[in-house]
A = this chain, B = another copy of it.
């Protein structure tokens, strides 16, 4: 159908810079399956084997079930992203849309078999996988070592980078995910997410408008709170410790983060 053709061609050109008529392009096209998801819909995937997904437009969450009421969101994905979905192994993975989404689904094995035949495609995929792995590692650091406030600040920082609008240090975020999704992504409950957002709001670091819009007043402050300690000073470094207590007495331990949170 026309829709499938069009989105596939865009996929080949934007993701790999390869014309869809190339040999690998035709092979990939043969195994592509286009899907359109409503606002909150799980993508139908064969769970027996891994899949590779391309998000044409929209937003999705990649989640793992740990048990009936324990879900860990492993990654969020937005338009233009390519990622692989593990087959059900130790955990059961699923992809769900956060808003209306169009995507392409490939079976992982033949996809990689074919992709490796074209240097441009395999080079791009290796780079994207490396990015995904590094994001996942940073998430592991957050989940293993950071407290609730640091995790939330890290989340806001990452979202500002990926879907934020606005210039300078001020960023506007229209988050497609619910508080529950944020909590499931950060290993926190919705109550804790709400409380920490409230703390940031009271401290004057963010504004919230409605349910989905969050305005970051100064990205530097958020970056500072997130407990990152590499050399990525994208914006200007902050000298003095920012103290959430400056506005109001708050039971938030910013200055003394724990070794490993509480679990």
A residues contacting B by CB (< 8 A) are 47, 50, 64-67, 69-72, 74, 84, 86, 88-93, 108, 112-113, 115-117, 119-120, 122-123, 125-127, 129-130, 132-134, 136-141, 143-148, 154, 183, 186-189, 226-232, 257-263
Please state if A126 and B125 are interface contacts (CB–CB under 8 Å).
yes
Given contacts A125-B126, A136-B137, A258-B263, 8 further A-B contacts (CB under 8 A): A66-B227, A91-B141, A116-B119, A116-B120, A144-B187, A183-B260, A261-B261, A262-B263
On whether A70 and B145 interact (CB within 8 A), knowing A126-B126, A137-B64, A230-B92, the answer reads: yes
Residues of B within 8 A of A263 (CB): 146-148, 187-188, 258, 260-263
Please state if B133 and A129 are interface contacts (CB–CB under 8 Å).
yes
Please state if B262 and A262 are interface contacts (CB–CB under 8 Å).
yes
Residues of B within 8 A of A132 (CB): 133
In the complex this chain forms, how many copies of it are found? Answer: 2
A255 to chain B, nearest CB (A): 12
Could you name 14 residue pairs across A and B whose Cβ atoms are closer than 8 Å? A47-B231, A66-B145, A67-B257, A72-B140, A72-B141, A72-B145, A86-B137, A88-B230, A89-B230, A91-B141, A116-B126, A126-B126, A133-B136, A262-B263
Residues of B within 8 A of A145 (CB): 66, 70-72, 187
A192 to chain B, nearest CB (A): 9
In whole angstroms, how far apart are the Cα atoms of A6 and B32 in the complex? 43
On whether A130 and B189 interact (CB within 8 A), knowing A122-B116, A140-B139, A145-B66, the answer reads: no
9 nearest A-B residue pairs (beta carbon)? A261-B263, A262-B262, A144-B187, A143-B143, A116-B123, A122-B122, A262-B263, A66-B145, A136-B136
